[in-house]
Amino acid sequence: MSTLIAERPTAELTTGRKAPKRRLRGESKLHPLVWVFVVAVMAFSLIPFYWLVNTSLKKGASLSQGELFPSQPTLENYLVVFQNPEFLLALRNSVIIAVVTTTVALVFASFAAYALARLKMRRKAMILTLILSVTTFPAIAIAAPMFSIWREIGLYDTLLGLIIPKLTFALPLAIYTLTSFFKEIPRELEESAYMDGATPFVAFRKVILPLAVPGLATTAILVFISVWNEFLLAVTLTTSPEARPVPVAIAFFSGTSEFDQPLGTISAASVIITVPLVILVLVCQKRIVSGMTAGAVKG
């Protein structure tokens, strides 16, 4: 699989930044049909968000009749969520898991990615293939044995017991994305560091790493989102609220003790954890795009 990606003809060119100017020529006026398509795409992307927020603001009859606009909007669902100790625990767990996994993955991955991008190395292609093949593992293949191993050694239903397997999937993602960022840094910079008597590692730490900060930030965002999102390992390897991260907590959310559908509170909880990620995407839109295309396309 690595050969496939390494040999992609688009490899050197797809930074996504240097789009040829030509396409701007004479196309400021779009065909009306194209505008229809633009609007349709926007609607398709946004309407579900609207409905989620709408549902989260409704209670009782307003909820069960499915009003298109809440006639009596209420923040009650949000209060219920914030008073739910299990949700707050889940939030804490998710933050700890995502921050620790992202940090550790970034440290190890930056070493590995630098070696793979820049240094002379034996069996580089084989190592890249191995790393990529980890990303194709179905999480259930790891989750099933981990379930048994963790139960025996006491890591089952703990945060550490989730961080370790999540790291396995975060590492290849980080290594692939970072490798492509390191490749973009001009080689002359290291050469001049060598001239000044630096060892390769010093050149990496003092010259390359500071220049790679934007790439590191991009990778951190992508890894953070994917760790935060991960569900199967989280649901298999936890059982109590003390270790459950947000996605599992939401999937098992029972809402209030009321008889009506807990959809209102579930929606409120969903909105609460979506807002930070949406802000992240709005602020770091360019970074996310370059990271997604770099990691995937350039390998």
User: What number of other Cβ atoms are within 10 A of residue 227's Cβ?
Assistant: 26
Asked if 226 and 17 touch (Cβ cutoff 8 Å), the reply is: no
Token pair listed for 154: 């006491």
Residue closer to other proteins, measured from CB, 38 or 213: 38
CB of 83 to other proteins, least distance (A): 20
CB of 257 to other proteins, least distance (A): 20
Q: Which class for 105: exposed (0-12), middle (13-18), buried (19 or more C-beta within 10 A)?
A: buried
Nearest to 232 by CA among 156, 104, 151, 142: 142
Residue closer to other proteins, measured from CB, 61 or 213: 61
Give the span between the Cα atoms of 106 and 41, in whole angstroms: 35
Residue closer to other proteins, measured from CB, 18 or 187: 18
CB of 275 to other proteins, least distance (A): 10
Percentage helix, strand, coil for the chain under 3-state DSSP, each rounded to 5: 75, 0, 25
CB of 82 to other proteins, least distance (A): 17
Residue closer to other proteins, measured from CB, 81 or 171: 171
